[in-house]
Structure formats: structure tokens, C-alpha cells
Chain A
């Protein structure tokens, strides 16, 4: 008995990998459709902030994630973009991550046409900049002095929506969606320093770390992980990848919990044998 239990404890991890693979693939192929009962406060705060923005306001949407974190962050970026376009809010999209170009490109190719939004009038995309601190500091005085051209290499000042935008005082807020620590930079160097409302979208693992900022209202709202993305999609009534991925997330999470409990029960039995 003891040997069998020891063998179970030292189980080849490839069996675990197979079980996990099945638990993720099956719900994706055949969705279960487990309903989400509640919406977390921080997601609701993000939604309410955008909902209460007057039409014609401008926000900065900082999309700083690459394909590795795209499954969690891309759906929430899409949901926010759809919401802002629905509310006729103008969007300045920028990034400090080199690998995000293709993802931003996918968003601006597919979403603006759905809302008849025009480039230059309703949204602009700024080019990738490596130096975050320089960008955040200089945008406080004059965005055009740092970003003189857009991603298409055309003068930013020529675009209709950018004519009245000079610095942070002319934007209603900043939404930073990132898988890195860039949201901290927005909070410290922009939110705290210039009083600009900052909202965020982060991976589930990073969400816990932003508790202090949410508590002190340094962050006005936060969307965390795929569940946060699914909740936001539910609020704007536009289910997409966040909602479709949640079934796989459900089963995978339960599997991990079952494995932990199982291994500890086996260990407990071994202790008393």
C-alpha cells in the first residue's frame, strides 16, 4: 500500500500534462456555457468610469502586451475599445512593447469599422517608443513634442482629433493594459503626479499586487485576467474570446485544486501508515 501511494506521489508528470490538455481542449471544442454570476467591483468601476465619460472626450489606451499574454489581455483590450467607440469617445492608442504591433494592428483593423469610426477623427495609433519614462514625462507638457508623427509616419498635428490635445490635461483618463509592470509607471508618473485618472487591465497573477492602488483610488478601476475580460464583455453585452475561454479556465482551475488536495491526502495517509 505504502509503495503504491509513493508511486502515485511520484507520478510521471506527463500524465498530468495529458489530463490538463484534455481539460482545456474539450471545453473549447464543446463549450459548457457556465454562467458568470457576479461582476467584480473593480471591473464594474472600470465600466462605470467609461460609461460616465462625456461624448467626445479623449482617452489614452496604452496596450503593452505581447502574444504571450494576449489570451488574457487581448479580449479586455477589444472590449474596452468597443465600449469607448460605442460611447463616441476618442482613443489615442500607444505602446511601449515592441511585440504588441501585430496585436494592435488586429484590433484597429477589425473593431473601428464595426462602429464606423474613422482614423484620425475617432482614433489614432502612435508608434512604439522604447523609453517609457521619457514618454510619460514629456506627454505631461506636450504630446506632440514626443510623438510628432503617428504610426503611418504622418504629422500628428494634422489629425482632426489631435488638434485640441496637447497634454494630459486634455485627456479624460488613461487605460493601461499590460502584462508587465508598466501600469505602475502610469500610476506613479502620471496618475499621482498630474492627477490623471488611471485604469488598468492586467493578468490574473498581477491583479493581486494592485490591491494597494485600488484601495487608495490611485487606480480608478482594474480588469484582472480572463475572468475580468469575460465580466467586461458581459457588461457591454459583446461576448468574445474572454467569454469563450472561461470554460477551459474553469475546468483547468478545478483540476489544479483537485491535484493539490489529492497529493496532500496521499501524503497524509502515508504519514499515518
Chain B
């Protein structure tokens, strides 16, 4: 059992990790074909995993309906919504539009999915204002610097900001756009580069740990 649960996965990870790493240094067409082949397998595995996930989703909501827990109506709606859209997709043959006219799937996309998705994203605006009012307290010099940079970037992002800046700080001969560009290209880039390098090195070492079997989180726990 240990062989199947532990050693075979470790061997597979090691083999494919080393081959994929080596393919970066092999220009031959063979390495390109290997990468194409492995990408296809990734797609196949993802498709099966999606199938498993969908079954689990239906199972957990079925249990809720069966036990009639609080809010079981929402679980019913999971089934209704899934089958309606699936039906529309089948009837439309997966096309959003045909000969310039919207299909059932296209209608569902434009009138159900689009507005819902846009609504969720727009809720972010309200949460930002609530967080800004509630949590953005300038309690230290670092927080004050952060506020100043944030203020400049926000003003630089809107035409009204340019007008306000010119009226109040026009005497500095610098436009808000120039200062904003400087903040983005100098201190922000420097900080971001540092974080990117740290993350890249961390990712490289973590990859080595995974390839050599030191990090086994992906297998589930032993």
C-alpha cells in the first residue's frame, strides 16, 4: 500500500520534474513535443478532476436537501441553475451567437452571467470605501507615507485629480502624472522587484523540495 500511496507518486513527481527541468536546456524538437504532450495530459487530468468536483458539489447539496437543513432552497437552486444553463448550452451547440443573433446560451451569458459577475465585482467598490473609512488609520510614519503615495496615485488616476493638483500644487512645476509615473517606476518598481525576486527564489527552492520529495503536501498527508 505504501508503494502505491507514497513511492509511486514520489517517483512520478521526481521523473517528470527532472525531465521538465531538463527540457528547458534541450532545444531539440523532442523537448517541445514532450511539453506539448504533458500539457495535453494536464488538460485530461483537469477534466477528470472537474468531473469529480461537480459530483461532490451535487452530493453535498443533495444531502442538504435531503436533511432539509436551513437554506436548503439555495441547494435546490444549484441544480436548477446548472441544468438550465447546461440545457441552453446543448441547444445552442456551445455557441454564444449564430449568424449575428444571440443563442440561448448567449442570452443567458449576456443577461444572467454578465450582470451577476459585474455586480459581484462592483460590490468591491463598496467594501473598499467601508475598509478605507474603518481601517485606514494613520498611526505611524510608514502609514502616513503609504497614505501620501496612495493619495498621489488616486489623484493621478482621475482628471479631477489633475485639476486639484494644478490648483493647489501647480507652483511646484511638476504635474501629478509625472509624480505618479515616478512613484510607479522608481520606489514601487524597486519594492516589487525585491518581492518578485524573493518569490522567484522561494518558488525555485520549493520546486526543488517537491522534485526531491522533501515537500509532500500535494500528496495529502502521510
Tell me the complex Cα distance, A195–B20, Å: 23
CB <8 Å contact, B130 and A13: yes
With A68-B118, A212-B189 as contacts: A250 and B133 at CB distance below 8 Å: no
Q: Which residues of B contact A251 (CB under 8 A)?
A: 160
- CB under 8 Å from chain B, chain A span 58-108: 66-71, 99, 101-102, 105
Q: Which residues of B contact A17 (CB under 8 A)?
A: 126, 129-130
CB <8 Å contact, A259 and B133: yes
- CB under 8 Å from chain A, chain B span 102-125: 106, 109-110, 113-115, 117-118, 120-121, 125
Tell me the complex Cα distance, A82–B171, Å: 39
A41 to chain B, nearest CB (A): 6
Query: Does A57 sit at the interface, judged by CB under 8 A?
Result: no
With A69-B121, A134-B39, A141-B32 as contacts: A215 and B185 at CB distance below 8 Å: yes
With A101-B96, A138-B36, A250-B158 as contacts: A208 and B133 at CB distance below 8 Å: no
CB <8 Å contact, B154 and A130: no
Query: Does A227 sit at the interface, judged by CB under 8 A?
Result: yes
The count of chain A contact residues (Cβ–Cβ below 8 Å) is 58
A197 to chain B, nearest CB (A): 20
Tell me the complex Cα distance, A251–B39, Å: 47
CB <8 Å contact, B36 and A109: no
Task: Give the interface residue-count category, chain B.
Answer: 35 or more
Query: Does B157 sit at the interface, judged by CB under 8 A?
Result: yes
Q: In terms of DSSP, what is the predominant structure of the interface of chain A?
A: helix
CB <8 Å contact, B132 and A256: yes
Q: Which single member of A24, A37, A68, A255 contacts B162 (CB below 8 Å)?
A: A37
Tell me the complex Cα distance, A238–B96, Å: 27
Tell me the complex Cα distance, A34–B185, Å: 27
Which of A161-169, A170-178, A260-268 contacts the other chain? Answer: A260-268
Q: Which residues of A contact B189 (CB under 8 A)?
A: 211-212, 215
Query: Does A269 sit at the interface, judged by CB under 8 A?
Result: no
B219 to chain A, nearest CB (A): 23
With A34-B159, A215-B185 as contacts: A255 and B117 at CB distance below 8 Å: no
Which of B59-67, B75-83, B134-142, B201-209 contacts the other chain? Answer: B134-142
Q: Which single member of A109, A207, A253, A264 contacts B154 (CB below 8 Å)?
A: A253
Q: List 26 A-B contacts (CB under 8 A).
A: A11-B133, A16-B130, A17-B126, A34-B159, A34-B160, A37-B159, A40-B177, A40-B181, A41-B181, A67-B115, A68-B118, A70-B114, A101-B96, A105-B96, A208-B192, A211-B188, A211-B192, A212-B196, A250-B159, A253-B160, A256-B154, A262-B133, A263-B132, A263-B137, A264-B137, A267-B137
Q: Lowest 4 CB-CB distances: which A-B pairs, in order?
A: A68-B121, A134-B39, A211-B189, A250-B160
Measured CB to CB, the residues of B under 8 A from A are 32, 35-36, 39-40, 42-43, 46, 96-97, 100, 106, 109-110, 113-115, 117-118, 120-121, 125-126, 128-130, 132-134, 136-138, 147, 151, 153-155, 157-163, 166, 175, 177, 181, 184-185, 188-189, 192-193, 196
Measured CB to CB, the residues of A under 8 A from B are 11, 13, 16-17, 20, 24, 34-38, 40-41, 66-71, 99, 101-102, 105, 109, 130-131, 133-134, 137-138, 141, 204, 207-209, 211-212, 214-215, 225, 227, 230, 246, 249-257, 259-260, 262-264, 267
